């Protein structure tokens, strides 16, 4: 009996080891589940992520443009900001954003903490100021108590706010996609068409940019390598950060995780469907015209990258007080 148990254990170890080796040989790696370090900070960050009082209108929250019920984005070409201002660029998904080498399409924020403060003070987005946002939070006793519990002080500042939001966003990972299950050794997780699509994805050169755990997000690349990308967008990418002419039309490579949920596609939101996105990327980035059948196989593979979506209880936000600055949605 002991011998039999030992043999079974050794076989199990062998299977796990074999699947680990197989996964390591692939350009894409499986996502690990989130392991929050500070549950209190994550909960506070969740409250702030959903609180529209951090905007001038009292109407726009982080979740407005990065809707966690819709793949971490808003599924429109460009986001709607204060007083129905049209944003200049397509909102990237917040899901798995902690795996990115930088934040925003042009990479102007080095991490999630730096990114979190941007929209609050952007006049075209939440249109507030950091000072007023802090005043709102300081005026609410329940928030002050939360900050004291997490940071040891109820003297709220914008650094605490962005730390908490970033901590929550770091938990927004999407493990256990069918593709990840295949990577881990479940060979029944994908159909033959999906496997064919993955092979085509690799053989065509897609993994030169879309690789790693997030299947992208780890490099900046020019949009329009083999032929110019035609767009009405005025956004020029990294050049706005670096000032280098060679960075014109260079953007952060987007993650392809959950890509079936994050339409429309590209920095300008011009591709409305995955089929259109695959067709355009094939031509302008790879110099390849995918057939209808090839396109369908790649799309089938891309849909296997949809993972387990964040699932949690929505926060109940504390009420404003008489001292809380009032929203000004029409100013």
Catalytic residues: 125
The residues, any chain, with a CB within 8 Å of residue 272's CB and separated by 6 or more, are: 263, 264, 265
Task: Please check whether residue 95 is in contact with residue 71, taking contact to mean a CB–CB distance below 8 angstroms.
Answer: yes
Q: No. of H helices and E strands in the chain?
A: 12, 2
Task: Please check whether residue 40 is in contact with residue 149, taking contact to mean a CB–CB distance below 8 angstroms.
Answer: yes
Task: Please check whether residue 299 is in contact with residue 291, taking contact to mean a CB–CB distance below 8 angstroms.
Answer: no
Whole-angstrom Cα distance, residue 99 to residue 256?
Answer: 12
What is the token pair recorded at 43?
Answer: 């909960």
Task: Please check whether residue 285 is in contact with residue 225, taking contact to mean a CB–CB distance below 8 angstroms.
Answer: yes
**In the 8-state DSSP scheme, what is residue 96?**
T
Whole-angstrom Cα distance, residue 178 to residue 167?
Answer: 27
Whole-angstrom Cα distance, residue 128 to residue 241?
Answer: 23
Could you count the other beta carbons within 10 Å of the beta carbon of residue 219? 15
In this structure, the chain runs to a length of: 331
What is the token pair recorded at 304?
Answer: 């296997």
> Which neighbouring-strand residues pair with 86?
80
Residue 28 φ/ψ, nearest 5 degrees: -115, 140
């Amino acid at each position: 009996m002991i011998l039999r148990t030992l043999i079974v254990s050794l076989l199990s170890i062998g299977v796990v080891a074999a699947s680990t080796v197989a996964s390591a040989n692939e350009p894409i790696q499986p996502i690990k589940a989130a392991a929050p370090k500070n549950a209190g900070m994550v909960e506070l960050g969740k409250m702030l992520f959903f609180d529209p009082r951090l905007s001038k209108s009292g109407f726009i929250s982080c979740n407005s443009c990065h809707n966690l019920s819709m793949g971490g984005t808003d599924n429109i070409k460009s986001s709607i900001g204060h007083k129905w201002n049209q944003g200049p660029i397509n909102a990237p998904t917040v899901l798995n954003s902690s795996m990115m080498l930088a934040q925003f399409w042009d990479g102007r924020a080095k991490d999630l903490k730096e990114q979190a403060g941007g929209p609050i003070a952007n006049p075209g987005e939440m249109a507030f100021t950091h000072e007023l946002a802090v005043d709102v939070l300081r005026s609410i006793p329940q928030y002050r108590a939360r900050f004291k519990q997490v940071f040891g002080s109820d003297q709220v500042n914008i650094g605490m706010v962005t730390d908490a939001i970033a901590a929550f966003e770091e938990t927004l990972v999407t493990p256990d996609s069918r593709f990840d299950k295949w990577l881990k050794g479940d060979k029944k997780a994908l159909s033959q068409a999906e496997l064919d699509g993955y092979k085509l994805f690799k053989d065509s050169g897609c993994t030169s940019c879309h690789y790693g755990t997030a299947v992208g997000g780890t490099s900046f690349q020019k949009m329009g390598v083999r032929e110019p990308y035609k767009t009405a967008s005025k956004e020029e990418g990294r050049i706005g950060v670096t000032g280098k002419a060679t960075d014109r039309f260079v953007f952060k490579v987007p993650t392809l995780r959950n890509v079936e949920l994050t339409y429309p596609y590209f920095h300008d939101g011009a591709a409305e469907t995955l089929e259109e996105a695959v067709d355009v990327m094939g031509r302008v980035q790879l110099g390849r015209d995918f057939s209808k059948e090839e396109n369908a196989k790649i799309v089938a593979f891309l849909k296997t990258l949809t993972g387990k979506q964040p699932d949690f209880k929505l926060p109940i936000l504390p009420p404003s007080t008489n001292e809380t600055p009032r929203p000004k949605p029409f100013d």
